[in-house]
Amino acid sequence: MADGKRNNAAGKVATPKSGGLPMQDSLEALGKAVGARIRITTAAPTGTTLEGTLFTACQTTNLIAINVSPASQKGAEYHVVPVSKIQAFQIVSLAEPDSATAIPTISRVDVAQLKKREEAKVKELKEKERARKEMLGRGVGKEGQEIFNALAKRFPGTRWVETSIIVLDAVKIDAPYRADDCKAPREQQKALAHVRKVVDGERRKMAARPGAVVATPSVGARKGG
């Protein structure tokens, strides 16, 4: 029975020009045919016939868009036509329910899932902010923070403990954060030497800057903490 109704609808002709349907009625009729294959004839003097899939019928602009490309062809060729220029239109075939040109249905919004995503994002941002704050020393000065930043890049897990820098869970660096200020247990002398070398290098870079006034690295042999 449904197929019978579809077949009856297909093939009907409307004439929106004066003496036929008013333009608003034509728009409403065309709006119900979006996704269907239609044939339209435009008014003289440039009267033409176009056949294709009706993409949209806009009641705001009083325009329709029709894709005249064959179904087998990739891509689309759209023609935009003012409804006032349409002499007549005919529904050639209605859109199938699974047609690619049919208007998609709007899915139900999963509010619970959106809430979970929001909470996860907030948690992630809080973790990033906490990590950022942990990377900032308090009352350590610009030089101390620069030394910390350089060490943190080389040694993951570098952290502040009050105003002291802890590297590799073994080396402690107190202010003013020079190589000689690095201390470590006797069994961690290898790690101590490595950290001192990095601090020394960073201090030299800082001292080489134009107009820099920094605590320079000590000269001479160093012994363990």
**In this predicted model, what pLDDT tens digit does every residue of 51-94 receive, in sequence order?**
988 888 888 888 888 888 887 777 788 888 888 888 888 888 87
C-alpha to C-alpha distance for 138 and 160, rounded to whole angstroms: 9
pLDDT at residue 225, as a whole number: 47
**Phi, psi at 129, each rounded to 5°:** -65, -40
- Whether the CB-CB separation of 165 and 177 falls below 8 Å is answered with yes
Q: Is the pLDDT at 19 greater than 60, yes or no? A: no
The residue ranking higher by pLDDT, 176 or 59, is 176
Domains plus CATH for the chain?
23-93 (2.30.30.520), 126-208 (no CATH)
The upper half-sphere exposure of residue 141, i.e. CA atoms within 13 Å in the direction of its Cβ, equals 10
C-alpha to C-alpha distance for 174 and 181, rounded to whole angstroms: 6
Count Cβ neighbours within 10 Å for each residue of 57-74 and write b for 16 or more, e otherwise. Answer: beeeeebbbbbeeeeeee
Q: How many other C-beta atoms are found inside a 10 Å radius of the C-beta of residue 93?
A: 14
Helix (H/G/I), strand (E/B), else coil: 59: coil
Strand intervals (E) in 31-77: 37-42, 49-58, 63-67
- Whether the CB-CB separation of 158 and 166 falls below 8 Å is answered with yes
**Phi, psi at 86, each rounded to 5°:** -85, 120
C-alpha to C-alpha distance for 108 and 106, rounded to whole angstroms: 7
- Digit-coded pLDDT (tens) for 140-169: 888 889 999 999 988 988 899 888 999 998
